[in-house]
Amino acid sequence: MTKVIFKTKNSFLSLLRIKYTYTMFSNSSKYAIKAVLFLAVNSSENHRIMGKDLAAPINVPQAYLAKLLQELSRGGIISSKKGPKGGFFLSKENALHTLMDVVNVIDGNDKFNSCLLSLEKCNADKPCPLHDLASPSRSKFIQSLNQNTIDEFSTQIEQGKVFLPL
Amino acid sequence: MTKVIFKTKNSFLSLLRIKYTYTMFSNSSKYAIKAVLFLAVNSSENHRIMGKDLAAPINVPQAYLAKLLQELSRGGIISSKKGPKGGFFLSKENALHTLMDVVNVIDGNDKFNSCLLSLEKCNADKPCPLHDLASPSRSKFIQSLNQNTIDEFSTQIEQGKVFLPL
DNA sequence: TCTTAAATATGACTTTTGTCATATTTTAAT
DNA sequence: ATTAAAATATGACAAAAGTCATATTTAAGA
Ligand code: FES
Ligand code: FES
């Protein structure tokens, strides 16, 4: 028997969210990336966006997002202005960061550099059984997380080549 | 100031283990995969291996591994025999399972089929900004998790093409 | 049959991650 | 100056993942 308790609107909504999938990103990082990219496309120095207006379009719990935005702001990934007419935005310099910078701020550094199975560094000379299956593409993926700027991603979005997910 | 308390030998050892890296596998799944592959190479119907003799060579905490082995056994991924001279082993049929079967038993099903960023299914028609970077290789990887049998992996290990990590 | 060696079941506990709420600080506008 | 609207700091709490320990069950061998 499944027991469900409805406490608040948010906890109800969270039932609809799919959690904990194997994507190498923590939920927090995913949320943060979505927020940053949304800001990249929709905000600017003089068009700031409030936390609560950001939460809905990217489908992230408002209170949780608030916390993430604060971490991103502290980490220099996004900019903000307090008070009335305040909000969050991406400066030109902010947009030069990479997505790896985003996850480093949210989840800490050095999460991507080890073997799929072992505790050692991934090593082509003594590959684990999954190395050849995963490693070439994996390192390419990690490389673009490290190299492509947020600005580049937002250009792709503006050109309609890729889409910002809910 | 870092405060470290040494409680037991195992909790000391666990300090040496690298935890929580972004590899799409949970620690439990990684441990389970290592255990299964080790059994595939080193055990047979009439050469069973005890839990405690398995823990050391694959560098997994003994008590934790015990629990995983029990789940794997219940899930039909590995075989076991109780009592003196008992232990764990892989039958011929066991070895026909895939690594995806292993992680399904340990972490539950349907962990691999969603977009890196969104809650929707990954969708080539409306790709998220990371889709093209990750998806082609990712689906190939997932496909071989689903198709290659444990037997095939163990052959590769026996041929010295790949190695079982600590 | 008794003893002993093994897996099994069960669950307590810890750490990490995810979630939500609230008091404080800053600043624009009146 | 005062007010109100925003971010910020802080932390309580919940859920999931990881870790460890112990009592029970099964079966081999004396
Ligand atoms: S050695 Fe395991 S992924 Fe490279
Ligand atoms: S749409 Fe996001 S990974 Fe495919």
- Strand, helix or coil for residue A89: strand
pLDDT higher than threshold 80 for residue A73: yes
**C-alpha–C-alpha distance, residues A12 and A151, integer Å:** 35
| pLDDT score at A118 | 73
| pLDDT score at A121 | 78
Which nt has its C1' nearest the CA of B67?
A: C8
What is B25-110+150-158's CATH number? Answer: 1.10.10.10
Structure tokens at A37: 């990219």
Name the nearest CA neighbour of B24 among A112, A66, A162: A112
Strand C bases within 7 angstroms of protein beta carbons:
4-11, 16-22, 25-29
Q: A5: pLDDT confidence band, cut at 50, 70 and 90?
A: very low
pLDDT tens readout for residues B43-91 = 999 999 999 999 999 999 999 999 999 999 999 999 999 999 999 999 9
pLDDT higher than threshold 60 for residue A33: yes
Mean pLDDT of A18-38: 81
What is the b/e burial string over B13-41, where b = at least 16 CB atoms within 10 angstroms of the residue's CB?
A: eeeeeeeebbbbbbbbbbbbbbbbbbbbe
**C-alpha–C-alpha distance, residues B67 and B84, integer Å:** 19
| pLDDT score at B81 | 96
pLDDT higher than threshold 70 for residue A79: yes
pLDDT tens readout for residues B99-136 = 999 999 999 877 776 788 876 778 889 999 999 888 87
| pLDDT score at A48 | 97
| pLDDT score at A123 | 85
Contact (CB<8Å) B163/A128: yes
pLDDT higher than threshold 80 for residue B156: yes
Best residue of A23, A112, A152 to probe chain B, by most B CBs closer than 10 Å: A23
For A151, counting Cβ atoms within 10 Å of its Cβ (0-12 exposed, 13-18 middle, 19+ buried), the class is middle
* Ligand 1 pocket residue status of A57, Cβ below 6 Å: no
| pLDDT score at B24 | 83
Taken in order A148, A151, A155, A161, the sign of the CA dihedral is positive
More confident site: B59 or A114: B59
Taken in order B118, B119, B123, B126, the sign of the CA dihedral is negative
Cβ(B90)–Cβ(B79) under 8 Å? yes
Q: How far is the CA of A59 from the C1' of D11 (A)?
A: 25
Instruction: Please give, one letter per residue, the 3-state secondary structure of B76-129.
Output: CCCEEECCCCCEEECCCCHHHCEHHHHHHHHHCCCCCCCCCCCCCCCCCCCCCC
Give first-to-last CA distance, chain A, whole Å.
31
* Ligand 1 pocket residue status of A130, Cβ below 6 Å: yes
Total CB pairs under 8 A between chain A and B: 124
Cβ(A112)–Cβ(B21) under 8 Å? yes
| pLDDT score at B91 | 97
More confident site: B140 or A9: B140
Name the nearest CA neighbour of A154 among A164, A146, A144, A145: A164
Range of lowest pLDDT (A16-20, A23-27, A94-98) = A16-20
* Ligand 2 pocket residue status of B116, Cβ below 6 Å: yes
Interface of B with A in 94-123 (CB under 8 A): 99, 111-120
Residue B11 identity (one-letter amino acid):
S
Instruction: Please provide the size of chain A in residues.
Output: 166
Q: B22: pLDDT confidence band, cut at 50, 70 and 90?
A: low
Structural domain boundaries of chain A? 25-110+150-158
